[in-house]
A = this chain, B = another copy of it.
Amino acid sequence: MAARAGVSKSLVSLVLRGDPGVSPARRGAVDRAIAELGYQPNRVAQVLGARRSGTVGVLLNDLRNPWFVDLLDGVTATLDTLGFSPVLIDSATLRRVGGSPVEQLLKQQVDGIIVVGTTEDGEQLRRAAAVVPVVLSGTYEPADLGPGVEVDVVVNDDVDGAAAATRHCVELGHSRITHLQGPGRVGDLRAQGYRDAMAAAGLAALTVPGGMSEESGYAAARRVLAGAPRPTAIVAYNDLAAIGALSAAHDLALTVPEQVSIVGYDNTYLAKIRHLSLTSVENGTLAIGVHAARFLVERIGGKTPARRVHQVPASLVVRRTTSRPGV
């Protein structure tokens, strides 16, 4: 301990925390001692003493989905300005080794948890939510986290985003448009946006389950594109599934966008890869991350408003996988 500066522990503590009520002289002495000793405060001891860790758990369900990583950027940046730091945990990886992601976070004394995307750890989250604040981002699930527990939700406007994607196809002149539906509530909402847009255009809707991975999107699209009458456009649940659809088209010797147009969702860096150049729905990933972090920190700070659902707008980014049909 830097009693080297000739002061007490508490003074050091105050200086470290940037307390305004410390005389410049003393502060200088402490700062100098810190520098000389190369003193590094021990986070662990700080946490134990203050019984708050200044960390928030970020529960990603798959580090391989680029959307999560984008969202993480917003979360990290915001958390940082608010004095917190994220503890990442990839449930896919951890579950593979038999661990329990949420408990892991709790034992590490995180002050709160941000759930990113549809998760399978619902039951554990219920228990966690009784102990620390939780906010859901990019998902509505688990919807109910226990009696009296209010959980904020930050999402994009899935209905509108999917509707925009669908309308884009309609406006290009497509009439046989199939939707590859994804899992969970978000999947349902996107499907609904699709159906709304189809109905508004007086077209018949057709949705098939397409999962949320490249693999599952490939399989679904392959089936759809091999059938008759073949759709001329596919609106996918996310970019990964859309890329699977791209591959399916390729394998069936169908050219994109000439013979089949394809739209993704999330506008991840995959969509931006020039060689793929996927038309996709931008869903305000960064803003979602920012708001999720902000909401959580508010609750950690003791505010306990009723459940808030914040929606950021979605917008379509047109690239090279969509065009008029049969062009």
Contact = CB atoms under 8 A, between A and B. Distances in A.
B42 A109 contact: yes
A97 B80 contact: yes
Given A48-B45, A53-B44, A93-B72, A80 B107 contact: no
Given A43-B107, A76-B94, A250-B274, A64 B69 contact: yes
A64 B273 CA distance: 13
A136 to B, nearest CB: 21
A268 B64 CA distance: 11
B250 A108 contact: no
Given A85-B104, A104-B85, A93 B73 contact: yes
A59 B312 CA distance: 32
B44 A109 contact: yes
A133 to B, nearest CB: 18
Interface residues of A, number: 49
A203 interface: no
Given A63-B72, A64-B269, A40 B97 contact: no
A161 to B, nearest CB: 23
A107 to B, nearest CB: 4
B64 A77 contact: no
A63 B64 contact: no
A80 B104 contact: no
Interface string A36-62: 000011111101100001000000000
A76 B53 contact: no
A11 interface: no
Interface string A121-135: 000000000000000
Interface in A185-236: 214, 218
Contact of A40 (B106, B243, B273): B106
A246 interface: yes
Most B-side CB within 10 Å, residue of A85, A247, A274: A274
A269 B243 CA distance: 12
A303 interface: no
B269 A247 contact: no
Given A88-B88, A275-B243, A44 B48 contact: yes
A99 B80 CA distance: 8
Nearest to A88: B88
Contact of A276 (B103, B106, B275): B275
Instruction: Sort A-B residue pairs by CB-CB distance and give the 4 closest, nearest first.
Output: A247-B274, A80-B97, A43-B107, A247-B275
Given A40-B103, A81-B97, 11 more contacts: A42-B48, A48-B48, A72-B90, A73-B96, A76-B90, A76-B96, A80-B98, A88-B90, A218-B274, A250-B274, A275-B276
Interface of A: 40-45, 47-48, 53, 63-64, 66, 69, 72-73, 76-77, 80-81, 85, 87-90, 93-94, 96-99, 103-104, 106-109, 214, 218, 243-244, 246-247, 250-251, 269, 273-276
6 contacts: A42-B48, A42-B109, A44-B109, A80-B97, A87-B87, A246-B275
